Amino acid sequence: MRNTTAIMNRELLSLFCSPVAYIVIAGFLLVTGVLAVFTGSFKPGAPATLRMVFEFTPYALAFIVPAIAMRTISEEYRSGTIEALMTAPVSDAQLVLGKFLASLVFYVIMIATTLVYLMLMMVYGAPDLGASLAAYIGLILVGTMFVALGVLASSLTKNQIVAWMIAAVPLLVFVWFSGWISRAAEGWWREVFRIVNISLHLDQFNRGLIDTEGVVFFLCTAAFFLFLAVKVVESRRWR
């Protein structure tokens, strides 16, 4: 655990010591800000809820989160520091978990910056804090899954752009089209696509519901991607 924490701290430090992290956060805030204004969330007399913003946020996250995670392991490959890590008393799982947690913490901080919107709403109305809490839990869970996929993609290549594409393309496909596919599919496939429909699960959280199906989906898929990432990193030892 200590190794994992050490790796996480080192990653976070390197992240926040570079202006890139702040640019990413600023970009995310700009996108969500535009969403908040264009969905009419801050119109006089509008419902005091960020639901409309959160409904569209996953589309932005499908671009942004792979960018956060793309450098985690591929940068180690590119700079050659992976060899040093391989010989250090750190297991592959600790390495992957440390990198993942660092990206996740960064992601949570990024999401937390939108709490300012909620505070602004509290000045001008009385938003449902319970529903907002559920929505934030949903965003953190969806981020957990996205970050895990980003780490897996990063473990597959030393080229960060390729890593970004490996994570972003399936996420975009799933976020943008999973709802449509699940409606178009028939029978057994319909149920399969319903189960993996990210928007559907996230919608439950946006409604203020903590649904165990969504929790299980996001956490299990995140664990699966991390497991695969560990196996990929591990394969460098015997390939």
Partner 1 sequence: MAVGTQATKRHWLYGINVIISVVVATAVLGFALVLGAKFHTSVDLTSTGLNSLSQRTRALLAGLDGDITLTALYSVPSEYVEVDQRRQDAVRDLLDLYEGAGRGKVTASVVDPLKDRGKIEEILNRLRAKPAYADEAAPHREFLKKFGEFCERLQAAVTADFEQCVKLADTDPSLKRSREFQIVATNLRRLGNETQTVVQEVAENESRDVPAYGRAADAAKDLLSLTNTYLADARGWMTGKIGQMPAVSDETHAFFDATAEKYKPLVDEALALQEEGGKLGSLKLDDMYTALKGWPDRPPILVETADEAFVVPFDDVWTYRDRNTPPGAGPDPSRDFAGEQAVSSAILRMTQKEKTGVVFVRYGGDPLLTPDFNNFNPSMGRLPTAPCQELNGLLDKANFVTAEWDVKTAKEPPIVEDAVRTIYVVFPPEPPAQPNPMQPPTEPGMSEADKQLVYDAVAKSGMAIFMARWQPPASPMMPMSRTYDYLDYLRQTWGIDVRYQYVTMEFTSSPEAPNLWIPAHQDPREVLVVSTPTIEFTDHPIGAPLASSQVAMVLVTPLAEFADAPEGVSIATIAKVRESERVWAFEDVQRFERDLREKSGTTPDTDDIRSPYPVAMAAEKAEGGKLVVFGSDRFISDDLAQQAGLMVVGGGFATYQRYPGNTDLFINTLHWLTGDADRIAVGPRKGGVPMLDKLKPGAAETFCKVFIIGVWPAVALLAGGAVWLFRRR
Residues 97-116 that bind partner 1 (CB under 8 A): 113, 116
Burial 118-127 (b: 16+ CB within 10 A, else e): beebeeeeeb
Least Å distance, CB 19 to partner 1, is: 4
Cα(71)–Cα(159) distance, rounded to whole angstroms?
Answer: 9
Contact between 126 and partner 1 (CB under 8 A)?
Answer: yes
Choices 63-71, 156-164, 168-176, 177-185 (CB under 8 A): range interacting with partner 1: 177-185
Contact between 239 and partner 1 (CB under 8 A)?
Answer: yes
Least Å distance, CB 2 to partner 1, is: 26
- Phi, psi angle pair for 40, to nearest 5°: 75, 25
Radius of gyration of the chain (CA): 19
Q: Applying CB under 8 A, which of residues 125, 169, 173, 189 lies at the interface with partner 1? A: 125
- The pair of structure tokens assigned to 131 is 């529903």
42-81 binders of partner 1 (CB under 8 A): 42-49, 51-52
Within 8 A by CB and 6+ apart from 29, the residues are: 113, 114
Q: Applying CB under 8 A, which of residues 10, 13, 22, 84 lies at the interface with partner 1? A: 22
